[in-house]
Amino acid sequence: MRVKLLYFGVLKDLVGATEGAIELPDGATAGGLLRILRERTSNIQMEERLWQSLAVAVNRQYASPQQVLREDDEVALLPPVSGGGAGER
């Protein structure tokens, strides 16, 4: 099955793209997708804590690692957001 990937934040810079696609076996989960991507991007300087802190959204809804993916799902990879000083509003 094929799913669409959307990269946000620092991931856009690390991967060098804002979107892509990946072929996965039927029954693949969001967590399994992250493991596959981690293996395929092992040449990119991504810290372990970034992988551990990624949020995943499937079709614009936050997803657990156990969520089963389906053909043509849109999977967004969302790194933690940082910025803004203590006194900024």
Q: What is the CATH number of the domain that holds 13?
A: 3.10.20.30
Q: Cβ distance 78 to 9 under 8 Å?
A: yes
How much is the pLDDT for 89? Answer: 46
Q: How many structural domains comprise the chain?
A: 1
b/e string for 39-58 if b means 16 or more Cβ within 10 A?
eeeeeeebeeeeeeebebbb
- Residue 13 belongs to what domain range? 2-78
Section 80-84 average pLDDT: 64
Is 12 within the bounds of a domain? yes
By the 10 Å C-beta count (0-12 exposed, 13-18 middle, 19+ buried), 10 is classed as middle
Which among 5-14, 23-32, 50-59, 73-82 has the top mean pLDDT?
Answer: 23-32
Is 73 within the bounds of a domain? yes
Return the SS3 of 37: helix
Is 47 within the bounds of a domain? yes
Is 85 within the bounds of a domain? no
pLDDT digits (tens, 9 = 90+) for 35-65: 888 887 765 566 677 778 889 999 999 999 9
How much is the pLDDT for 6? Answer: 97
**28 pLDDT tier (thresholds 50, 70, 90):** very high
Is 86 within the bounds of a domain? no
Is 83 within the bounds of a domain? no
